[in-house]
Amino acid sequence: MDIEMKTNNWNFNSLIAFIDQTHRHFQLQAVKSVNVSLTLRNYLIGFYIVEFEQNGEDRASYGQALLVRLATELKIKGLVSAELSRCRQLYFCYPQILVSLTQDLKYSVPETILGSLTQELQRRSTCSLDQEPASDNWQVPAQKIIQQLSYTHLVELIKIHDPLKRAFYEMECIKGTWSVRELKRQINTLYFERCGLSAKPEVTSRDSQLKTGVGSVSDFIKSIYSFEFLGLNVEDSIEEHELETALLNHLQEFIRELGLGFCFEYRQQRILLDDVYYFIDLVFYHRILKCHVIIELKLDAFKHEHLGQLNTYVAYYNAEIKRPDDNPAIGILLCTEKGSKLVEYATAGMDNQLFVSKYLLALPSKETFENFIRRELAAWKC
């Protein structure tokens, strides 16, 4: 803790400071504990999958469909096939964790699991006698990987195929206590390459760390993986602006009250595209039109990228969710900024003009949506 406890000089402000800092300290400890458990669980899952792929008696009968079958049978929240693939990649990327799990008693690995890990470690040691020594002096110690990086950090790091480059970002992330967002920004801006081209890479590193904000407890708490791992409602991990939340709450009720065939399905539906999670504001199914209706709310003026995002969701539904007897999904974009209102209907991929005309008749008019937003904003200002 940063504040020195001096109980002989109490005042109200010091009481507030002590309670607040104590809360944040133990909150961070709890979050770290959850992340450590999540990382170890997923690492062991990766170990089991690889062991089965190499030694399973019936492995040949599953082949490439193993992860899909596994996710279907497990029915564990969050462990979809893509997540199982990440667990497998985590195991391959961090061989030093295997050593740590067999030697560090504080991780409390069950004896049944520990025996399998020890056997694998012995097998690796035997194999390495016939090979040249590995150049792994640059590997970040397993304890630092486990204790100081959240699993969400590791999800980004295992995307880096070059072990040396990955170790560079691990060290910089730990040194700067980067949030996941900051880690992604540094990777996207080629921080590793810029340091390599610099005449004084240590100066580039120092300057970058000085410009980087320290990650907060909330940066860890917002991890979608932590919420799924603990079995919490995924909506609890979505931090929305109060106005957006109010609008979505009332919009949901507003659509239901229209009585035009809308059947509510999802609020903040999570979908996975290219290893990135996205959240769709509202999803309805329309009984008359026999199609899904996707609604997105943006708290600013209309931008073309908003329509692009909505069209992506519409295309996803048409490709992954739509049944053969369904009509193509419809997207509705609601935008608002300082009293200006705009409603856009997305009709990407809908070349049936008769159906387009039918849905324009069956759905609420743009003016109806605009009046709704106007009333809600007026009530919010009061």
Higher pLDDT, 260 or 3: 260
Q: Is residue 14 part of a domain?
A: no
pLDDT beyond 70 at 239: no
Q: What number is the average pLDDT over the span 205-222?
A: 53
Domain co-membership, 194 together with 248? no
User: In this structure, are 260 and 152 located in the same domain?
Assistant: no
pLDDT tens profile 142-184: 999 999 998 989 999 999 999 989 999 999 899 888 888 888 8
pLDDT of res. 126: 64
**pLDDT above 90: percentage of residues in the chain:** 11
Residues 214 and 265 in one domain: no
pLDDT in tens, 329-353: 888 888 766 555 567 666 555 555 5
Cα–Cα distance for residue pair 320/150, rounded to 1 Å: 31
- Predicted local confidence at residue 261, as pLDDT: 81
Which residues of the chain form beta strands (DSSP E)?
Answer: 262-273, 276-286, 291-298, 330-337, 340-346
Other CB atoms within 10 A of residue 40 CB: 18
The model's confidence at residue 234, banded by pLDDT at 50, 70 and 90, is: low
**Domain closes at, from 171, 198, 228:** 228
35 and 165 belong to one structural domain: yes
* Same domain assignment for residues 186 and 293: no
Mean pLDDT across the stretch 186-192? 85
Residue 209 has pLDDT above 50, yes or no: yes
In this structure, is residue 320 part of a structural domain? Answer: yes
* Domains: count for the chain: 2
Query: What does the pLDDT read at residue 240?
Result: 40
Q: Which of 169, 202, 228 is the last residue of a domain?
A: 228
pLDDT band at 117 (very low <50, low <70, confident <90, very high): confident
Which residue would you say has higher pLDDT here, 124 or 351?
Answer: 124
* Model pLDDT, residue 242: 56
CB proximity list for 71: less than 8 A, separation 6 or greater: 79, 80, 81, 83, 84
For residue 93, is it within any domain?
A: yes
Domain at 361, CATH number? 3.40.1350.10
Does residue 117 contact residue 101 with C-beta atoms inside 8 Å?
Answer: yes
Residue 276: give the domain boundaries.
240-381
Domain annotation covers residue 235:
no
Question: How far, CA to CA in Å, does 380 sit from each of 242, 247, 364?
Answer: 10, 9, 23
Task: For residues 54 and 202, state if they share a domain.
Answer: yes
Distance CA 39, CA 34 (A): 9
Regarding whether 78 and 220 lie in a shared domain, the answer is: yes
- The verdict on residue 133 lying in a domain is no
Note the pLDDT of residue 129: 47
Tokens, residue 359: 């849905």
Helix (H) and strand (E) counts in the chain: 17, 5
Distance between CA atoms of residues 291 and 330, nearest Å: 7
pLDDT, residue 237, reads 45
